[in-house]
Structure 1
């Protein structure tokens, strides 16, 4: 792979990582901490308050989903640049 393609590949890779980290930070910090008191007025199926659930479980589930999104997007990016296994 020539230098131009390599730089484009890494630029897209870093952009993907940045975007996924922003999503995770918003869910974990903004929803799970800053907006938790406001979200606690909503209950999930009569169970725990939504703000508590996001702080304890939701951010973990979002992280797991983001791992799969990253893997799928990187496979597509690898195929696009011809570096797939």
Structure 2
């Protein structure tokens, strides 16, 4: 595999990871916090309605977790394609 082919494959896989992780974040922040808020408000978490919790805290927690997941995935991807140090 040439360097150019490796770079193209690397970025395709990187973009796939980004699309998946951003879709998860969208589903948690927008869908759970806004669209499905009324249905989720029937469930309580720590005394708060679940829809409210997702809108205020859940999307932030999910974003931070997704950052760590992305770092781990990128470290594996760097090793796979030989871009690690």
TM-score bracket relative to the smaller structure:
over 0.9
Gapped runs of 5+ residues in structure 1? Answer: none
Gap runs ≥5 in structure 2 = none
Q: Secondary structure, in 3 states, of the residue corresponding to 1:31?
A: helix
TM-score w.r.t. structure 2 length? 0.95
As a proportion of its length, which structure holds more strand? 2
Q: Which runs of 4+ in 1 moved over 2 A?
A: none
Shift of 1:44: 1.1
> Alignment RMSD, CA only?
0.9
Counterpart mapping for 1:55-74 below 5 A: 55-74=55-74
Partner of 2:15: 14
Equivalent pairs, count:
84
